[in-house]
A and B are shown apart, each in its own frame.
Chain A
């Protein structure tokens, strides 16, 4: 399973994932600081969480990629 994967490692993938995590958090923080209207705030918080989950997925994938290429 792990040893059949490609060898080339994209160096920026992990960084992209971490930046997505940070971006999602900033959306959440902005929602609390700047938005007073509750439905809008809820929408932005949930959107921020989605961005964070996407970032976490990218970080997980990048590490899986590194693991596969090392073995």
Chain B
């Protein structure tokens, strides 16, 4: 890697916190006003805990291609299954090799991934419990899977491609969000009459601005990933990644707008923002692998998946996911991974194996960890706290102290 490429990748990685900022705004805007400050603070704390866990053991176990790793010898072939680097970044060489860039990208990525379940647990997930869950996710679940994909592990050995983190960051976070939504249960009053009650997000502007901000972060994430994990060299290849990222998100947003308009009479702003992010998530899998027309088509399907699955999860499966994290990051990400094999240069069988690993290993692992944690340290806030709002209950002050609070907000449902 030349020094110019190294600097370019560094600059792209430094854009990725915008993706986290966008996600935090979306999660806050789609939740209730009485939990807005809690959601934003949880986002900051989650990023901090994830970075510390990654420093402690995460990067050691993720490692990087060519780095130290444990391998199992099966049928005469070594299969790398976990990194074997030193803990606490000891013996890290801070030079212009790819390793420090992979570390920095990993540190931002693990924070972004750990933030995804916050959207599903909005309005009822205790701050301390979410941080404990994050520590376990960032310290074990994420690094293990990231090693398999980005660290030269067995999935990479069989040809699985995930250059922008659709699998490593988004689907792993989205499946953890599914586990959290199931373990926490729905918000009070969501299904009290048997049918789901609509609990709209409190600030559409935050949600839509979050979508725009996320685009900046995603451009950096996809370009950096394409260079580091797919060998794209500076030049037209990088422009193609950026073009595909924008096309996928734009097409997804327009599709969601069209679907919600045809179903409800008007485009749904918050669902459109979710569709936009769903397109970004899908683009993470395909941006460096397909042509622009295919990227737009993949975005169209991602937008349709988000628009239809949000409603299906809510109505049919009684899954209360205020931020739409499961649809946006889980389902759109899975589609992107499969699309890389269908439309791009990825091996479809290896891409299918990647999806199978996410569903058959990452989800049960994540569910088991959070279920066990919930047995010893309940993750859901007490009913009084939920009625009062997470801001007042856990932080002692609301995000909008000048707002008039209506007394019925405090009545038990």
Question: What is A's interface to B at a CB cutoff of 8 Å?
Answer: 1-3, 18, 21-26, 28-29, 32-34, 41-42, 45-46, 48-49, 52, 55-56, 60, 63-64, 67, 70-71
User: Is B75 within 8 A of A21, CB to CB?
Assistant: no
B345 within 8 A of A: no
B411 within 8 A of A: no
Cβ–Cβ < 8 Å partners of B1 in chain A: none
User: Is B191 within 8 A of A21, CB to CB?
Assistant: no
Cβ–Cβ < 8 Å partners of A24 in chain B: 356, 359-360
**Among candidates A1, A33, A46, residue contacting B79 with C-beta atoms closer than 8 Å:** A33
Please list 16 pairs of residues, one from A and one from B, whose beta carbons are closer than 8 Å in the complex, sorted by A's number. Answer: A2-B195, A2-B318, A18-B367, A25-B360, A26-B360, A28-B352, A28-B353, A28-B356, A29-B154, A29-B357, A32-B353, A33-B79, A41-B349, A49-B352, A63-B182, A67-B318
B315 closest partner in A (C-beta): A1
B74 within 8 A of A: yes
- For chain B, which range describes its interface: under 10, 10 to 19, 20 to 34, or 35 or more residues? 20 to 34
B200 within 8 A of A: no
B361 within 8 A of A: yes
B195 closest partner in A (C-beta): A1
Knowing A25-B361, A45-B352, A60-B317, say if A3 contacts B194 (CB, 8 Å).
Answer: yes
What is the minimal beta-carbon distance from A44 to any residue of chain B, in angstroms? 10
Give Cα distance in the complex from A1 to B368, angstroms.
30
Number of A-B contacts (CB under 8 A): 76
User: Is B158 within 8 A of A28, CB to CB?
Assistant: no
What is the minimal beta-carbon distance from A68 to any residue of chain B, in angstroms? 8
Q: Is the interface of A mostly helix, strand, loop or mixed?
A: helix
**Among candidates B185, B317, B349, residue contacting A45 with C-beta atoms closer than 8 Å:** B349
Give Cα distance in the complex from A42 to B186, angstroms.
39
User: Is B359 within 8 A of A71, CB to CB?
Assistant: no
Closest 10 CB pairs of A and B: A25-B360, A28-B356, A2-B194, A18-B364, A67-B318, A21-B360, A52-B360, A25-B361, A24-B360, A3-B194
User: Is B359 within 8 A of A21, CB to CB?
Assistant: yes
Contact with A along B230-248 (1 / 0, CB 8 A): 0000000000000000000
The listed residue with most A CB atoms (<10 A of its CB), out of B154, B353, B357, is: B353
User: Is B75 within 8 A of A22, CB to CB?
Assistant: no
A56 closest partner in B (C-beta): B359
Give Cα distance in the complex from A22 to B363, angstroms.
9
Knowing A21-B364, A22-B364, A34-B75, say if A52 contacts B356 (CB, 8 Å).
Answer: yes
A51 closest partner in B (C-beta): B360
